[in-house]
Structure 1
Amino acid sequence: MVQVFHWNRRLFQCRFICIATTIIFLIFIHTFEITYHFLNACTEEEPIDVVYTWVNGSDPKFQDQLDSYLRKYKNIQIDSSAQRYTDKNELKFSLRSIEKYASWINHVYIVTNGQIPHWLNLDYEKVTLVTHDEIFTDKYNLPTFSSPAIEAHLHRIPGLSKRFIYFNDDVFLRSPVFRDDFYSPSRGFLVYLSWLLPMCAPECLWLYVADGHCDKACNNIKCQMDGGDCDDTSKPLLGDVIVKFEDYDVVETNYTKLLATLQNTTTRTFKVDHTVNISNLISQHNKKVLFLDKLKRRKLRKKFSQRVYNRNVDAYADSLQHTNRILNEFYGFSVRKVPAHAPIMVDREIMEQMQMKFAKYFQKTAWNRVRSVDDIQFSFAYYYFLIHEKNEFSIDEIFDQFDTDMSGEWSDVEVRTVVTKLYDLPITDEIFAHFTHMLVNCSSRSVLPTLHITKEFVRNCPLLSTFLKLNLAITHKYKFELIKEADKKHVSFKMLNSNVTQVIRQLDDVRKNVKKFVCLNDNLDQLRISDNRVVQRLMLDFYMSLFPVPSKFELPEDYRNRFLYMEDYKELVDKQNRRFKLTCIFLVVITFVLFLNFFRRRVCEFIDRLFC
């Protein structure tokens, strides 16, 4: 009996130990899972994709298609410059720079009109070719040869990350870049700005538009009739102050005079004393932006006269002016800078909101088959949509922001916080006395500690509520940080022409002065064929000196893609899929016949044994 009890006690102890061990193990596993998911939640970052737009303008099929559509444009100002479409393998080396300096990129999408780069490794899992058919909502607008129209649809790429970085194929990385170079929670979106927007008309800077003085040079449609300055009945809406006087890049001696002239005026209203003759300053300013004139495309001459090209314009410069007029219409008159030639991070949701706000203008951009003067300039519009969009708060919402303890009444500490938001630091006794006087005037009590500053009190105090609305009711909707002089520290932009000596100097400057982003823009004279060949060779040697190692985006050196068009490639893939399906069906049928034959024999043998 004692032995049985002792055995039962040992059995109980074993069971207890097993159960306790199991519980401890389960608790450990559960704790480990919680810790693992917590750490992943802290360190996991959303994927960031890269999007390129690419076209091979030297393709005869593309040229014939472009010519056929240009014949339809009789009296429309368009930009049909050959430089818009020529390919010099920039995309290949830009991808090499991404692999070298931004390995954190999740995926690369290359948007084309159906063309395939002959060197592209289509089997690489980190690259996808996207055709215009896949992203354009209205197929009537296809085929298109307009980069603004294509850019307006990039956020519709299937499977694209919430935020993506848009690269032009002539932009590459020169040093390591990180997510914080485009966006961070503390700084928001980094807005890289370059030179000032050019004049809207001869002798008229945007500085003079809506400055309170009627300027005859600005009183035209291109300058929006001087912002209403010449009409006494109109009151122009002034927008955010983005550019200050010191941002104007004029000759130093003349700049001092201009600054002295404007010293007594506010930067927000941009008042200008026109008693001083500043025509010389305008001339100097024109010289400083002379490189913009190089963007003006010449009329194609005799060699290309067989192509029915109409009057050729620089649609990029004109579309900047067009977009600026739209921004003035929606957000008020501001003096703005042009985005630097650098990659731009785009949020898909923000892009959709911007297109809803400027719907008719984006629709017109999508209709344009080639670059036109009435396009919305993508990066310019996106950056300033980020800058200008605002949130508006009611008095109740403003009160709740400072009622941190949710007591329904502002405490002394919360009042101090309010004062720091309304006045410049440091907070002096005079400033606090001014705010106290404002509160006392709205109450029958004369001592601040006896006041109960509730939501109803603030709402019923006109002086205080107006003061709060003026200073706190409107805030920026999106967080951003302006990088106003991006060309000096972050971006190297070179406009390459057919002057071989000048190109060598420009490329050497890129080698010596290392910046994060480099853009080598093409402004070659199409008639200087021999010089252009030398320039192209110089560019290839330059690229190879920086990125000699092929990337995973490329096929081996001795291989080329069999097909150069997606339709041919898809046709081959469809044939292979059909063959595979037919092979599978054939194997299934053969297997079924063999199984049926085997089963029939077994049945026959069973019947013979049963009845014979």
Structure 2
Amino acid sequence: MAQGLALWTRIINWMAAIFVYNVGNLKSRSEEGWKFNTSFPVDLVYTWVNGSDPKHQAILARLKTTLQKAKAYTATRDRNLANMRFVDNGGLRYSLRSVEKNANWIRHVFIVTNGQVPDWLNVENPRVTIVKHEAIFDHPENLPTFSSHAIEHNIYKIRGISERFIYMNDDWLFGQNVSLADLYTENNGTKVYLAWNAPTQCGEKCKIEMIKNDVCDQLCNYDHCAWDGGDCIDIPEQKPKDKDTAHCDYTNSVLYTNAIYNRAFGIKKRRVIAHAPLFIEKKVNKDMVQR
């Protein structure tokens, strides 16, 4: 037991160190210090799932069977519906503790789930609310969903959430004291931490400038190129034979977002947002969804 606890402690410390490194040392540089009253309320949103839940596993298995019968179970879907993508390693508990210790200026915490509730969570805590997917999806027929991007697409609709809020995954921790100034300032607005260069191709021959250009390019007409960004709706898709061409949903979202940016602002090289807390404004989120 003691060895297991020591191992978890090392893992958590390592994850915290990685988090701080990835965002360029997310440490308060404001003269006010890290702990101060914000000029407006700021809430925090997590998305969480427990992949070991038998009910969750049964629903996922039925979806896979349905897709297989429809001959729509592609390599990309196989990669994104793998059981490993829904594993709960207990990180949410430690992430919440890091928030309370290092960012306790946050007003309220919303945990978005498919109805699951962590068995260790004190649901009577007035600062924590469990939000079911049904509460934020306008079309219940689209549920259940196993796409984190579909869920993230709708979190700004949480009832009662602040106009400006922070979105985090449950494997993120604040490894040291953090202030609002690390994520947002009145003078400069939202701070965006960037990582590596965004990919410029989603396939061997499909380039990013070909996606979502109002022309159906058959070279991009399959699932891991987002069916040419929607340009090839109702047109039979290509069937790539190489399983290695499959992308995870995250890569798909980067490609699609980059295509939208190209359309709006011109073709250029861009960088991917770092794996770090995101400061979101509801009005901006809504505008992005409408685009």
TM over 0.5: yes
2:43 to 35, 40, 49: 49
Aligned to 2:63: 69
2:250 to 287, 291, 316: 316
* Residue 318 of structure 1: how far off its partner (Å): 2.8
Count of residue pairs brought into register by the alignment: 219
* Residue 323 of structure 1: how far off its partner (Å): 2.0
Aligned to 1:187: 188
CA distance in 2, matches of 1:114, 1:197: 34
In structure 2, the CA distance between the partners of 1:312 and 1:61, relative to structure 1 (3 Å rule), is: farther
Answer yes or no: is the 8 Å Cα contact 1:52–1:110 preserved in 2: yes
Higher RCO (CA < 8 A, seq sep 6+): 2
User: Is 1:340 aligned with 2:264?
Assistant: no
Aligned to 2:138: 137
* Residue 327 of structure 1: how far off its partner (Å): 1.7
CA distance in 2, matches of 1:113, 1:226: 32
* Residue 317 of structure 1: how far off its partner (Å): 1.6
CA distance in 1, matches of 2:128, 2:58: 29
Q: Which residue type is aligned with residue 198 of structure 1? A: P
Answer yes or no: is the 8 Å Cα contact 1:80–1:312 preserved in 2: no
* Cα distance per residue 1:23-56 (max 9 Å; x no partner): xxxxxxxxxxxxxxxxxxxx76211000000000
User: Is 1:109 aligned with 2:72?
Assistant: no
Mapping for residues 39-438 of structure 1, pairs under 5 Å:
45-73=39-67, 74-75=71-72, 76=74, 77-78=76-77, 79-200=80-201, 220-225=205-210, 313-356=247-290, 358=291
* Residue 329 of structure 1: how far off its partner (Å): 1.7
* Residue 223 of structure 1: how far off its partner (Å): 3.2
* Cα distance per residue 1:369-409 (max 9 Å; x no partner): xxxxxxxxxxxxxxxxxxxxxxxxxxxxxxxxxxxxxxxxx
CA distance in 2, matches of 1:329, 1:312: 25
CA distance in 2, matches of 1:63, 1:167: 24
CA distance in 2, matches of 1:225, 1:348: 30
Aligned to 2:239: none
* Cα distance per residue 1:317-368 (max 9 Å; x no partner): 2331122112212221011000000000110111112222x2xxxxxxxxxx
CA distance in 1, matches of 2:210, 2:150: 29
Q: Which residue type is aligned with residue 168 of structure 2? A: F
Answer yes or no: is the 8 Å Cα contact 1:133–1:139 preserved in 2: yes
* Cα distance per residue 1:181-221 (max 9 Å; x no partner): 1111122110100111134167xxxxxxxxxxxxxx8xx43
CA distance in 2, matches of 1:155, 1:110: 13
Mapping for residues 443-522 of structure 1, pairs under 5 Å:
none
Answer yes or no: is the 8 Å Cα contact 1:108–1:127 preserved in 2: yes
* Cα distance per residue 1:392-442 (max 9 Å; x no partner): xxxxxxxxxxxxxxxxxxxxxxxxxxxxxxxxxxxxxxxxxxxxxxxxxxx
CA distance in 1, matches of 2:196, 2:208: 19
Percent identity of equivalent pairs: 42
In structure 2, the CA distance between the partners of 1:134 and 1:225, relative to structure 1 (3 Å rule), is: closer
CA distance in 2, matches of 1:104, 1:88: 26
Q: Which residue type is aligned with residue 63 of structure 1? A: Q
In structure 2, the CA distance between the partners of 1:130 and 1:222, relative to structure 1 (3 Å rule), is: same
Query: TM (normalized to structure 2)?
Result: 0.70
Q: Which residue type is aligned with residue 57 of structure 1? A: G
Q: Which residue type is aligned with residue 123 of structure 2? A: L
Q: Give the root-mean-square deviation of aligned CA atoms.
A: 2.3
CA distance in 2, matches of 1:355, 1:201: 22
CA distance in 2, matches of 1:136, 1:221: 32
Answer yes or no: is the 8 Å Cα contact 2:193–2:274 preserved in 1: yes
Answer yes or no: is the 8 Å Cα contact 2:110–2:131 preserved in 1: yes
Answer yes or no: is the 8 Å Cα contact 2:208–2:258 preserved in 1: no
Aligned with 1:128: secondary structure?
A: strand
CA distance in 2, matches of 1:157, 1:227: 30
* Structure 1 residue runs without a partner (length 5+): 1-42, 203-216, 229-297, 300-310, 359-612
* Structure 2 residue runs without a partner (length 5+): 1-36, 214-242
CA distance in 2, matches of 1:201, 1:136: 29
Answer yes or no: is the 8 Å Cα contact 2:163–2:281 preserved in 1: yes
In structure 2, the CA distance between the partners of 1:131 and 1:227, relative to structure 1 (3 Å rule), is: closer
In structure 2, the CA distance between the partners of 1:352 and 1:225, relative to structure 1 (3 Å rule), is: closer
Answer yes or no: is the 8 Å Cα contact 1:81–1:312 preserved in 2: no
In structure 2, the CA distance between the partners of 1:88 and 1:100, relative to structure 1 (3 Å rule), is: same
Mapping for residues 569-608 of structure 1, pairs under 5 Å:
none
Higher helix share: 1
* Cα distance per residue 1:428-477 (max 9 Å; x no partner): xxxxxxxxxxxxxxxxxxxxxxxxxxxxxxxxxxxxxxxxxxxxxxxxxx
Answer yes or no: is the 8 Å Cα contact 2:212–2:259 preserved in 1: no
CA distance in 2, matches of 1:44, 1:56: 33
Aligned to 1:540: none
CA distance in 2, matches of 1:349, 1:135: 16
Aligned with 1:136: secondary structure?
A: coil
Answer yes or no: is the 8 Å Cα contact 1:110–1:128 preserved in 2: yes
Aligned with 2:138: secondary structure?
A: coil
Query: TM (normalized to structure 1)?
Result: 0.34
Aligned with 2:115: secondary structure?
A: coil
* Cα distance per residue 1:257-276 (max 9 Å; x no partner): xxxxxxxxxxxxxxxxxxxx
CA distance in 1, matches of 2:162, 2:128: 13
Aligned with 1:316: secondary structure?
A: helix
CA distance in 1, matches of 2:156, 2:185: 20
Answer yes or no: is the 8 Å Cα contact 1:122–1:128 preserved in 2: yes
In structure 2, the CA distance between the partners of 1:104 and 1:168, relative to structure 1 (3 Å rule), is: same
